[in-house]
Amino acid sequence: MSKLLGRTEETDIGGVTWLRERPRRLRRTAALRELVTETRLDARQFIYPMFVVPGAGQCQEIEALPGQSRWSPDLLVQEAERAWHDGVRAVLLFGIPEHKDPEGREAANPKGPAQQGVRALKQALPELVVITDVCLCGYTTHGHCGVIGEGGEILNDPTLELLAKAALSHAEAGADLVAPSDMMDGRVAAIRQTLDRAGFSNTGIMGYTAKYASAFYGPFREAAESAPQFGDRRSYQMAPPNRREALREARLDAEEGADIIMVKPALPYLDVISDVRAALDRPVAAYNVSGEYAMVKAAVARGWLEERAVVLEVLTSISRAGADLILTYHAREAARWLRGE
């Protein structure tokens, strides 16, 4: 009789090694493996982030996000129709305005690109879930997510009213959910109150709840022309080493009325996704951000990674960590692959 390290008892019966546990039994055939699969990706859990510019007939390719473009509302609709055909049922819109000012007032313009994009999508695809990013950084000359005080600090409370106005303009355009990404304290409560008072109690809020001051946002800033012109965002976004703090943010967003809690980025923060999933009863979303997407695309372009397998493994890992919803630029291609195309 001998012992096998780290395994159950091993006995020698008539010269045959006997193992009580043989996990490989359930890996023997494809059908068996499918039968015991713990995490299944589904295109219906994807949210496809899209960029909207003013005008018509515009499709501007984004160099740092291969395969992604900025669309004018008319072509945005066509791209959303293609996504719908692929099996994607939700989009997240980022408006890129013509004019910027220090307070980002264009963010609440009912005729802004985001608002027009929402209207166009809802008209063409009424069942598509349309979510809008709510922030000021794409609309401010300085590229920060809030208004700037005299000393150069990002002011919290004066920003809330501007965010709430922007969110209201999205709700009026027909957005199903608004998604504040600014990381100001109290923004979810401010937006909830403003929406309810205006009669939009059915418009939901997806909070960018645990949004880290990450280096993985680089390609997005090119796409949305939203890079900060001075300093960085560390006085409002979360510090990458902090894990417990995400639970504090999640509890606050839930208390303030967030319907969906988001962790951003996804891959470098799988532990945070898992924590938030375990601690809260709200749906958890995770944002597979531009830098995560660009890394895969760059390696694939060099022939270093096999695209389909890597993308599906990445998305599966985010789902396995606990994300119910996944925001990803891979949404369309992943949806097609999941259908076996």
Is 326 an interacting residue with respect to Zn ion (CB under 5 A)? no
Is 167 an interacting residue with respect to Zn ion (CB under 5 A)? no
What are 103's two structure tokens? Answer: 């307070």
Q: Least distance in Å: CB of 128 to Zn ion?
A: 24
Q: Which stretch binds Zn ion (CB under 5 A): 56-64, 132-140, 185-193, 260-268?
A: 132-140
Residue whose CB is less far from Zn ion, 47 or 145: 145
Q: Cα–Cα distance between 31 and 26 in angstroms, integer?
A: 9
Nearest to 95 by CA among 264, 224, 287, 262: 224
- Give CB contacts under 8 A, 24+ apart, made by 190-198: 190/160, 190/161, 190/163, 190/164, 191/134, 191/163, 191/164, 191/167, 192/256, 192/257, 193/164, 194/164, 194/165, 194/167, 194/168, 195/164, 195/167, 195/168, 195/171, 198/168, 198/171, 198/172
Q: Which amino acid is at 208?
A: Y
Residue whose CB is less far from Zn ion, 137 or 272: 137
Q: Which stretch binds Zn ion (CB under 5 A): 34-42, 136-144, 195-203, 216-224?
A: 136-144
Residue count, binding to Zn ion (CB under 5 A): 3
Site residues (CB under 5 A) for Zn ion, limited to 221-240: none
Residue whose CB is less far from Zn ion, 135 or 334: 135
User: Do 157 and 147 touch, CB atoms closer than 8 A?
Assistant: no
Task: Name which position in 121, 137, 247, 289 contacts Zn ion (CB under 5 A).
Answer: 137
Q: Which stretch binds Zn ion (CB under 5 A): 31-39, 94-102, 128-136, 249-257?
A: 128-136
Residue 100 designated active-site: no
Backbone angles phi, psi at 303, to 5 degrees: 80, 15
Residue whose CB is less far from Zn ion, 75 or 145: 145
Task: Name which position in 62, 145, 177, 206 contacts Zn ion (CB under 5 A).
Answer: 145
From the CB of residue 248, how many other CB atoms can be counted at a distance below 10 Å? 13
Residue whose CB is less far from Zn ion, 94 or 200: 94
Q: Cα–Cα distance between 186 and 67 in angstroms, integer?
A: 36
Q: Which stretch binds Zn ion (CB under 5 A): 48-56, 89-97, 130-138, 152-160?
A: 130-138
User: Which residue among 3, 100, 122, 264 is the active-site one?
Assistant: 264
Is 135 an interacting residue with respect to Zn ion (CB under 5 A)? yes
Q: Which stretch binds Zn ion (CB under 5 A): 77-85, 142-150, 168-176, 302-310?
A: 142-150
Q: Which residues pair with 260 in a beta bridge?
A: 206
What are 331's two structure tokens? Answer: 């949404």
Residue whose CB is less far from Zn ion, 96 or 334: 96
User: Which residue among 3, 122, 165, 211 is the active-site one?
Assistant: 211
Q: Least distance in Å: CB of 213 to Zn ion?
A: 11
Secondary structure class of 315 (helix, strand, coil): helix
Residue whose CB is less far from Zn ion, 108 or 137: 137
- In sequence order, what E strands does the chain have? 10-13, 16-19, 46-52, 59-61, 69-71, 90-95, 129-134, 147-148, 154-155, 177-180, 204-211, 260-264, 284-288, 325-328
Tokens 């609709």 label which residue? 77
Site residues (CB under 5 A) for Zn ion, limited to 186-225: none
Q: Least distance in Å: CB of 59 to Zn ion?
A: 24
Residue 211 designated active-site: yes
How far does CA 291 lie from the centroid of its chain? 12
Residues tagged active-site: 211, 264
Residues that bind Zn ion (CB under 5 A): 135, 137, 145
